[in-house]
Amino acid sequence: MTESDPASEHVREGAEALDEDDLERALHCFDEALRVDPEHYGAALERAETLHLMWRTEEALQAVLAASPPPDEEDDPDRADLEGRIREAAGDFERADALFRLAHELEPTEFPLPIRTGEKDFRAILDKVLEALPPVIRDALLEVPVIVEPKPTIAIADREPHITPDVLGLFVGTSVGDKMQVTDTPNVVFLFQRNLERAGRSRAEVAKEIKITLLHEYGHYLGFDEEDMEHLGLA
């Protein structure tokens, strides 16, 4: 099979669609790739990834399991990591962590073990980050509380359809510049602990990811664009 065959071309187009967050087009491309070549392993994994990002969790799990390498071959760390993220989105944290460990064993550099901190420990890291935030953000904390959740949920995604199960944080509510907009949703910033723990290779890196996420989400609340963030030293 060459890189120019029809199935691989559909996979390439699907990957481009994923980069552009066009999940429906991506799914169509991967479906077409598998129609041309039902045994195309890359297309099968990419299709499972796309279903995961679309919150079609049960379908994604079925797809990634169907894409498993033959029993006589070593597992693929990309497949193990993807199955872990899908199971995590389904709330099966124990099985997810076992799969993350498997991915790490197969490819330690590319797939570091998540830094699991526990609820109290994560809160201690968060408190230190909050103390070090710029004054404009600390003032915003008085109006918009931080809520830590293990993972985003389908209920949150129903209100915020642009997010994926792997998102690190989310501002929900009305920004300062949209006060005329009427909404029943209280202003809040969510941090998703398990996703943040997987975003860093150490406690220090997790703390850095928490800070970046908070600056970004409170920037949304304050109505800052990227240029504003850089000017205020928040980028």
Which amino acid belongs to residue 2?
T
Q: Does residue 96 sit in helix, strand or coil? A: helix
Q: What is the pLDDT of residue 114?
A: 94
What does the block give as tokens for 76? 């693929």
The CATH number for 1-67, chosen from 3.40.50, 1.20.1080, 1.10.246, 1.25.40, is: 1.25.40
For the chain of 235 residues, list the mean pLDDT of each consecutive stretch of 10.
76 96 97 95 96 98 88 82 97 97 95 93 96 92 95 92 94 78 78 96 95 92 75 59
Check: CB of residue 220 under 8 Å from CB of residue 138: no
Closest CA to 130 of 207, 216, 26, 227: 207
Q: What is the pLDDT of residue 98?
A: 98
**Cα torsion 52, 58, 59, 65: sign:** positive
Angle between helix 41-53 and 23-36 (nearest 10)? 150
CATH number of 119-231: 3.30.2010.20
Domain boundaries, the chain: 1-67, 69-113, 119-231
Q: What is the pLDDT of residue 1?
A: 43
